[in-house]
Structure formats: structure tokens, C-alpha cells
Amino acid sequence: MISLRKINSILVIIMIIILLNHAVLSVLYMYGFISYSPSFQVTGRRLFYPLVAHMVISLYLYIKDKRRNVKTYPKLISQTTQQIVTGILIVVFVALHIFSYMMSPINVSLTFEIRLIHFFIDIGLFSSIILHLRVSVPRLMVSFGFLESKDSYSNFQNKWDVCVAVILILLVLAEIIHYWVIM
């Protein structure tokens, strides 16, 4: 029988694939390589159900571990706290992201204030997702048995930290180019 942790890991993989699709299309649009397409909204909506299932399973597993008084290492506690905080921030920023684009669609001329609001909401969303994935992806690799020794986990974590920093920089640059250069 497959465990809830494995199911949660599979949900994370599904969400990463959908999120990558959404992000790549959006970044290509923001850099001016492609025109806007309603499929951006469709890929964003496809994240909803796996995200809700991931949240429910994660909360259940967290509460279950807390009840069992599982002894953990301080670094693991800080990473779990980071996941919880960034998970909550992701939900908040996703709601703001959806609401802000519903109120001020992409294909209309935006005032400076609206562009600034979109910019800060998107940067908050990107940062929350990146910080969440910074912890989640190495744990995902452990869950599937790709990182078995402590050294392999540390090495992967260091390389992954660089990778997520580069991704965040590319996303911030895309936002700057889109809202302050192209528009």
C-alpha cells in the first residue's frame, strides 16, 4: 500500500510540472517572446485541486507527527516551519494574484499603481513558492530514495539553493522587464 507521504510527494511532482508549464509560458510572455494566451489561466486553474489535496495531506501528516511527539533535529524543525509559513503565504499570494488579475486584466493599459501592485504580489508569490520548494524538493528526493546518505542530501541542498536563487532572479527580471520596460 502506498503511504500518504508518497501520495503527497506525487502531488508535489504533479504541481511542479503544472507550475513549470504556467511559469515558463508566463515568463516567455513577460520577456515579450510570445503573446498572451488564455491557456495561462487554464494552467493556473489546474493547480487548484492538487494544491488543496497537498495542503490537506501535509496538515494531516504534520498534526500526526506532532501528536506522536516525533523527536526531530533543529534544522528539520526550522525547515518544517519554513514550509508551513511559506505554504500559508503561497495561499495568500495566490488569492491576491488571482484577484488582482481579475480586477486589472493583463491586456489593458495599467496605471503605475496597478503595475506596482501586480509587481509586488507576483514577487511575493514567486518568493513564497521558491522558498517552499527550496525545502520541499530535497525532501521529495529523499522520499523517493534518490538521496540516501547525509552527504548526498547536503550536496543536493547546496546545488538546489543555487538553482532556486537563479530561478527567482529570472522571475524578478521578467517582472521588471514586463512592468517597467515593455509596458
Q: And the C-alpha cell for 183?
A: 509596458
Residue 34 Cα distances to 8, 24, 40, 133, 165, angstroms: 34, 11, 12, 27, 25
If one counts the domains in the chain, the total is 1
Mean pLDDT of all residues in the chain? 86
Structural domain boundaries enclosing 76: 4-182
* Structure confidence by residue, pLDDT tens digits, 81-119: 899 999 999 999 999 998 988 887 666 677 888 889 999
The pTM of the full predicted model, rounded to 2 decimals, is 0.85
At residue 26 the predicted structure's pLDDT band, cuts being 50, 70 and 90, is: confident
Q: Which long-range contacts (CB under 8 A, 24 or more apart) does 20-23 make?
A: 22/47, 23/171
